[in-house]
Structure 1
């Protein structure tokens, strides 16, 4: 018995490495990093974060998926092969857009669950396609909805923990022709989870397990990768303040979806309603953030007094002084500054040491100082809003 389980688990892990979503998601992470670095070099002539930062974020969720699998196996989430194939097709289709926000679980699972309701009612006359539709028709909708709710909760937690750090600064020209700074957070994750697939590899040994039994008495174990994505573009608020709020809203939506999905065990229509709520709820959260940002005054703009910090280059003197995005530098070596040129000239007053007067994000003054060594960034590793010639006009995303 134990040998059969271990063998099936090993086979399940092997199936992960032939699943296209696993590789497509990682490829998207690499592409996002490439274009981010390209844009940063265009705007600031230097990259801010390492080009594979997004890829590294993907790798960090692999262990999380295995830990969460204890829950999916314990409950006994069962997905037919056709349903796994359907989710994969929807995921790959959304990744082709190269926009991480469409990889949100609410969109992928919401549309997949609705298609799982509609597709089995169609016939094409093509044996292989009709067989696939028949497999999709065996989907236990509450099980799929419960998995969707669980993944949405995890996605919200990942946004809270990761999405507000290592954001990318950008410069663009506003409709008035003035430079405006943005902060962009784009993340993709892949969460591999063990799920049960109807088959003949293992026999259930307990009448009460799987908890979500749908008639099958035998099954296989698959380690299935599920993609997740997040995108936020802010000019009127700080990422560390706004993005965690968005993450908490996503988590709350996931809890609501999960509750509705559990109700679907007794009333299947509730599972379908959870898919509709997932799509529209996730889009509403995205819309509210974007609308609020558009209606508010941007904070990353040039000012009459002081320079607002748009970015801090890692391992630079600025990072060592704990300078933060959104803080305003008003004096350098006792000299008031309001332009990048003035900032640089003030630094030259003392090439071995600098003292900054800073207004933090709470509006309070503080001082930061450090020694300057040969080879350090000539502007301490700080990025500011400044005039340029090649910006794109601001567009809503």
Structure 2
């Protein structure tokens, strides 16, 4: 037991030697800084600090890393060091595209699987890490497929819980020249999890262990940092609903791939099918989500019923009043408002108190009121779509 504990601690230290750990920090910084720049460009203020991306990098990843570590340690799921090297290289290359959806395990693990498959079949020799690549065996295929399925399940649940927590409003112009709002999510999560590499110092504690093995039953635990990326634009519905639906689809795909991968332990050809279907399925989910959203009516556009809220800045009077994105303000201080200018004119009627009639996202009218205090956000902290067309046209010149 002492040997296993020491080996796990050493494996945990390997996390800080893996370039993916530092890549995730760099990507978080880049996404946060770009988001703040865009918010300042569109609204002359930032909605959230860039530190929010850093704060969201690990919490869900640690939770799912622990869950998957229990599964992998309990079954003895072993992945050769060569596969980890390839996964690191594939992730680095895909990150350079800045298309963060390609950092889904469906892409990184599937491409790793295909590269490993090619190198094993062609007996490719590499001068630097040749000793690692000599360990490649056909038995690696099911273990990679199982890891792929498990990570897809984790990705889907993480998207459901965290995909919509940092979404930034943006402006675009429709084909008819109408200014509309949309929400964009660009997220990175780091999921550190224990896996085994074959050929270590630890002997199997039971005759039946490890369940999923490669070669000899001498293994060593190591923490594998997996970067999960996510991208989604939403213009046709409440963004939280769209992201949650996206995550559910990924979870379903992950469970199906995991079952298929488990069967591949007895029918190895199914491992290849798993990698192909995971890649195609993840791309299909993205395509169907985007196509369906494009066909929906614009959710964040000017409304005849009043002034539609595009966004609410946290910790402002509007946030404290419970106003939400997508709601419509029809009256303020008893005055009917149809434009943003009319809204602020009505607000000036009583600088100490504001009373709003709001049409909620459920279509029902409600009354919201609150005292205003000196020093609070002079615009209540509301963001609107209206009057942005001219700014967009200027930016495009």
Matched, 1:57 2:56: yes
Whether the 8 Å CA contact 1:172–1:392 is kept in 2: the answer is no
User: What residue is the counterpart of 2:276 in the other structure?
Assistant: 276
Tell me how far 1:267 sits from its aligned partner: 0.4
User: What residue is the counterpart of 2:167 in the other structure?
Assistant: 167
User: What residue is the counterpart of 2:7 in the other structure?
Assistant: 8
Tell me how far 1:136 sits from its aligned partner: 4.1
Matched, 1:299 2:299: yes
* Secondary structure, counterpart of 2:342 in structure 1: helix
Q: Distance in 1 between matches of 2:182 and 2:136?
A: 43
Moved more, 243-252 or 167-176: 167-176
Tell me how far 1:60 sits from its aligned partner: 1.1
- 1:335-354 residue pairs with structure 2 within 5 A? 335-354=335-354
The 1:76–1:324 alpha-carbon spacing in structure 2 relative to 1, beyond 3 Å, is same
CA RMSD of superposed structures (Å): 1.9
Tell me how far 1:147 sits from its aligned partner: 1.1
Tell me how far 1:315 sits from its aligned partner: 0.7
Per-residue CA deviation, residues 156-203 of structure 1 (Å, 9 max, x unaligned), is: 011111112331111122333321101111211111111100123211
Moved more, 196-205 or 117-126: 117-126
Whether the 8 Å CA contact 2:80–2:132 is kept in 1: the answer is no
- 1:34-45 residue pairs with structure 2 within 5 A? 34-45=33-44
Tell me how far 1:129 sits from its aligned partner: 5.8
Q: Distance in 1 between matches of 2:111 and 2:162?
A: 26
Per-residue CA deviation, residues 78-130 of structure 1 (Å, 9 max, x unaligned), is: 00000001111111111112222111111111111122111223356653365
Q: Which runs of 5+ in 1 are unaligned?
A: none
Tell me how far 1:390 sits from its aligned partner: 4.2
Q: Distance in 2 between matches of 1:359 and 1:213?
A: 59
Whether the 8 Å CA contact 1:201–1:219 is kept in 2: the answer is yes
Q: Distance in 2 between matches of 1:76 and 1:125?
A: 28
Whether the 8 Å CA contact 1:124–1:130 is kept in 2: the answer is no
Per-residue CA deviation, residues 320-342 of structure 1 (Å, 9 max, x unaligned), is: 11111111111111111121111
The 1:98–1:349 alpha-carbon spacing in structure 2 relative to 1, beyond 3 Å, is same
User: What residue is the counterpart of 1:95 in the other structure?
Assistant: 95
Structure 1: which 4+ aligned runs deviate by more than 6 Å? none
The 1:123–1:149 alpha-carbon spacing in structure 2 relative to 1, beyond 3 Å, is closer
User: What residue is the counterpart of 1:360 in the other structure?
Assistant: 360
User: What residue is the counterpart of 2:392 in the other structure?
Assistant: 391
User: What residue is the counterpart of 1:33 in the other structure?
Assistant: 32
Q: Distance in 2 between matches of 1:116 and 1:391?
A: 47
Tell me how far 1:131 sits from its aligned partner: 4.6
* Secondary structure, counterpart of 1:198 in structure 2: strand
Figure out how many residues of one structure are paired with residues of the other and give that number.
394
TM-score with structure 2 setting the length: 0.95
Whether the 8 Å CA contact 1:172–1:180 is kept in 2: the answer is yes
* Secondary structure, counterpart of 1:391 in structure 2: helix
Per-residue CA deviation, residues 11-35 of structure 1 (Å, 9 max, x unaligned), is: 1011000101111012111110110
Whether the 8 Å CA contact 1:173–1:392 is kept in 2: the answer is no
Per-residue CA deviation, residues 337-378 of structure 1 (Å, 9 max, x unaligned), is: 121111111110110110111111111111111111111112
User: What residue is the counterpart of 2:16 in the other structure?
Assistant: 17
TM-score with structure 1 setting the length: 0.95
Tell me how far 1:299 sits from its aligned partner: 1.3
Whether the 8 Å CA contact 1:236–1:300 is kept in 2: the answer is yes
Q: Distance in 1 between matches of 2:70 and 2:62?
A: 12
User: What residue is the counterpart of 1:313 in the other structure?
Assistant: 313
The 1:250–1:125 alpha-carbon spacing in structure 2 relative to 1, beyond 3 Å, is closer
User: What residue is the counterpart of 1:250 in the other structure?
Assistant: 250
Whether the 8 Å CA contact 2:179–2:301 is kept in 1: the answer is yes
User: What residue is the counterpart of 1:266 in the other structure?
Assistant: 266
Whether the 8 Å CA contact 2:183–2:239 is kept in 1: the answer is yes
Tell me how far 1:217 sits from its aligned partner: 2.1
